Amino acid sequence: MTRHLARAWRLVLLALLLAFLFRPALFEPVLRPLTENNAPAIYDKGDLLSLTLSHLKITAIATLGAALLAVAMAVFVTRRAGADFLPLSRSVVNIGQTFPPVAVLALAVPAMGFGEAPTLVALFLYGLLPIFETTIAGLTGVPRPVVEAARGVGMTGWQRLLQIELPLALPLVVAGLRLSAVIGLGTATIGSTVGARTLGEVVIAGLLSDNLAFIVQGGAIVGALAILLHDTLSWLEQRLARRA
């Protein structure tokens, strides 16, 4: 019963999000009380659907890039040849958590200019740690008897990695991907401060014009996207765990 209610809630949230993105005028009566001096209740300085798609694109590119590097590094340091590089690898992936994204943006803008590029760098660095650590946990958590049995039947190191270790570790890899993607989705809003097209534009416009309606709708869209993304990847993680 609880599962059905949760599924129904997600469908309602998705329907409301799509309705707001495609027909925002329908929600004007709800947002109108949040405005003053006849200010617009619906963000009118850009297309909300376009901003949302751009926001998702930036998050997806940065998360995919972080996943590729983090998984590759985790595989390397869990091999005998790369075990000595584990402390160095942990130091590298911790850079994104050590420096706030705003600081990374400030450092990247002089070298890369304004726009999406510095935002992608900040999100990329910020997303490495969760994927790296969960991938290591997944690979090192593969039962040794399973690995030894694979070695006993003559499987090579690459075959054991691709056919045994990574498939069994995949649920934890997806868990790290989920954390990275959700963090990146929320953090991407600051990209608008350096010229990236994200939903941060809506929030910033609300702050500059003292329009609470803009702030609420920008935050609500990001929040709804984060919930839906988290639930989708959690469902995938559970499916992979059952299969493994």
- Asked if pLDDT for residue 150 goes beyond 90, the answer is no
Count other Cβ atoms within 10 Å, centred on residue 113. 11
- Is there a contact between 11 and 228 (Cβ–Cβ < 8 Å)? no
Q: What element of type H or E holds 69?
A: helix 48-77
Count other Cβ atoms within 10 Å, centred on residue 128. 24
User: Where does the chain have alpha helices with state H?
Assistant: 2-22, 28-31, 48-77, 86-93, 95-98, 101-112, 116-140, 144-152, 157-160, 166-187, 200-209, 212-243
- Asked if pLDDT for residue 3 goes beyond 80, the answer is no
Exposure of 126 in the CB half-sphere (CA atoms within 13 A): 27
List the domain range (segments joined by +) for residue 171. Answer: 48-243
Check which CATH number belongs to the domain holding 177 and give it. 1.10.3720.10
Residue with tokens 């270790």: 165
| 172 belongs to a structural domain | yes
| 90 belongs to a structural domain | yes
**Average model confidence (pLDDT) for the chain?**
89
| 11 belongs to a structural domain | no
pLDDT digits (tens, 9 = 90+) for 60-78: 999 999 999 999 999 999 9
| 39 belongs to a structural domain | no
> Could you tell me the CA-to-CA distances from 170 to 30, 41, 55, 135, 182 in Å, in that order?
43, 44, 26, 8, 18
CA angle 130, 14, 34 (to 5 degrees): 95
How far the first Cα of the chain sits from its last, in Å, is: 26
Q: What is the mean pLDDT of residues 181-185?
A: 93
Band the pLDDT of 189: cuts 50, 70, 90. Answer: very high
- Nearest of 2, 12, 132, 4 to residue 76 by alpha carbon: 132
Task: Give me the pLDDT at residue 1, please.
Answer: 56
Q: What is the mean pLDDT of residues 225-241?
A: 91
Q: How far does CA 69 lie from the centroid of its chain?
A: 15
- Burial-class residue 69 by CB neighbours within 10 Å (0-12, 13-18, 19+): middle
For the ranges 84-98, 102-116, 210-224, the lowest mean pLDDT is seen at: 102-116
Task: Give me the pLDDT at residue 83, please.
Answer: 86
Q: What does residue 238 show for φ and ψ, rounded to 5 degrees?
A: -65, -40
d(CA 242, CA 91) in angstroms, rounded, equals 33
pLDDT digits (tens, 9 = 90+) for 151-170: 888 788 788 888 888 899 99
- Asked if pLDDT for residue 100 goes beyond 80, the answer is no
| 12 belongs to a structural domain | no
Band the pLDDT of 99: cuts 50, 70, 90. Answer: confident
Position with higher pLDDT, 97 vs 167: 167
pLDDT digits (tens, 9 = 90+) for 26-67: 999 999 999 888 889 999 888 999 999 999 999 999 999 999
| Six-digit token string for 76 | 């390397």
pTM of the model: 0.90
- How many domains, in total, are found in the chain? 1
- Per DSSP, 161 falls in state I
d(CA 54, CA 200) in angstroms, rounded, equals 11
| 36 belongs to a structural domain | no
d(CA 127, CA 131) in angstroms, rounded, equals 7
Task: Give me the pLDDT at residue 60, please.
Answer: 96
| 144 belongs to a structural domain | yes
| 120 belongs to a structural domain | yes
Q: What does residue 64 show for φ and ψ, rounded to 5 degrees?
A: -65, -45
- Is there a contact between 207 and 134 (Cβ–Cβ < 8 Å)? no
- Is there a contact between 59 and 233 (Cβ–Cβ < 8 Å)? no
- Is there a contact between 225 and 148 (Cβ–Cβ < 8 Å)? no
